[in-house]
Amino acid sequence: MRHGEVPRSAQRKNRPYAARKESLMKIIIAGAGMGGMIAAERLAKLGFDVTVYEQAPSLDEMRYDWHDDVNPSIFRRLGLEMPAGSFRKKSWTFISPHGAVVREFRQDDSTADWSVERRPLNRMLYERAAAGAKFVFGATVERPVVEKGVVVGVVVNGREERADLVIDSLGADSALKKDLPAEFGVSRHREDEVFVAYRAFYERDPNAPAPKYTNKVYLKHMGEPGISWVIQDNDPSLVNVLVGRIGSLSSYDLERALEDLRKTNPTIGGKVVRGGEMCVIPVRYPATRMVANGYAAVGDAAYMTIPMLGSGIASGMLAGQLLAETIGENMSRGVKKEDLFKTSRLWKYQVKVFREFGAVHCAVDVLKRGVLHFPDAMLDWMLGSEVLTNDEIGCLAAGKMLRVGVKEAIRKINVTEYSRMRTLIKVNNLLQKSLYAYRLARNIPRNYDPNICKSWEKRLKRIYRR
């Protein structure tokens, strides 16, 4: 079955999914996130009555005014054109916590991410989805409507709207997720599992000298948990600045960080041209429970961002496709109408998410937490020594797993002085824990059994509480 194609069995007149107006099942998508709009397009093509409720007043006010990194492979997979204005990312240069060590990464341009403008991408996805789905702007989704253990709708602007399935695309702080009954078991996050970031594009100071490094990322900037970056953007008149911290970012800490960045980056001018906004991004492993009877979460609502980076456009879009694909497959198998959106049927969607990218994100989250807890001096040594290869730095920069073979392990031992062996052992233990998380996450139960699935969830969560 091609992407977005209605299964043949769903087209037969003797099936409950035949495209007849009076028998259409209704799907509500709360929030016009990237994954939500992919799901809206594909589910409308499957013959569902799809409505998207978006809080923003209009299409042009839906997205942050900036660009984000996306691997171009996701556009090929979903059969989409890359939006106009996209450009290839430059190589990162990593700066240690207090600026003592600088390490350049030399990327392979053929596999590099591209920076994609959010608003053109948003418009493209909207136009495709709006061909079959209805969009309602200025609509605040306040809470779910739950009856007898099933999500049967949402409250929008004080009015109850009913649906057979509610798809949560409201982000990390989803109002739907907060009000779901505890017995649903849908995952929620802790404060230390979100990244609070300020991002702005400053006017470039024309009198400042050209920088030696164009894409600088500061690990544990000023010794604090999080990162900052300064990028001489594709637009030569702008400087792309981000300050992000785990859990919270006060105005005082933001001003301190900006002042510190200006000391070594004189190109940062005084005027904000684009952005200048705060955002909250999940930076943790994916939700171990993202489905319930009549409910499914996509994108940030299910914590699908890459934990090391906070980038989640590609995974969110893919999740929207996987959800529609799962529902389409269930239709093709002749699943009864009343069973189509039960937890046991939607669980297949979660299995696909974990096997496609979720298990890798679990492994990366272990690495991220470990790096944030490393002493500053340890990070200085790791960046300044020959222990980390260029390819390994590239994996970290792209939010991928690190795998070290026997030959490479021996090389690391040989280039490490005796006094640093204990540190090397700590790094190895972190890598082993990361690999364990990957294997456990990928071993998600194929079929839904409440007890077996709860046991799997508990084992996975335990990794991140040690």
Return the axis-axis angle of helices 421-442 and 406-415, rounded to nearest 10°: 160
Instruction: Please give the pLDDT value at position 466.
Output: 60
Is residue 97 within 8 A of residue 222, CB to CB? The reply is yes
Cα–Cα dist 200/185, whole Å: 37
Each domain of the chain, given as residue ranges in start order, spans 8-64+73-80+117-189+284-356, 192-282
Instruction: Please give the pLDDT value at position 335.
Output: 94
Q: Which residues of the chain carry a pLDDT beneath 70? A: 1-23, 466
Alpha-helix residue ranges (DSSP H) falling in 160-299: 175-178, 251-264
pTM metric for this prediction:
0.91
- What are the distances in angstroms from CA 442 to CA 360, 409, 437, 439, 456? 8, 25, 8, 5, 11
Is residue 50 within 8 A of residue 134, CB to CB? The reply is yes
278 by Cβ neighbours in 10 Å (0-12 / 13-18 / 19+) ranks as: middle
Instruction: Please give the pLDDT value at position 12.
Output: 38
Is residue 104 within 8 A of residue 213, CB to CB? The reply is yes
Pairing of strands 165-168, 295-297: parallel
Instruction: Give me the CATH code for the 8-64+73-80+117-189+284-356 domain, please.
Output: 3.50.50.60
Please give the class, per CATH, of domain 192-282: alpha beta
Q: Measuring CA to CA, which residue among 196, 217, 192 is closest to residue 379?
A: 217
Residue 47 CB partners (closer than 8 Å, separation 6+): 6, 10, 17, 18, 19, 24
Instruction: Please give the pLDDT value at position 57.
Output: 95
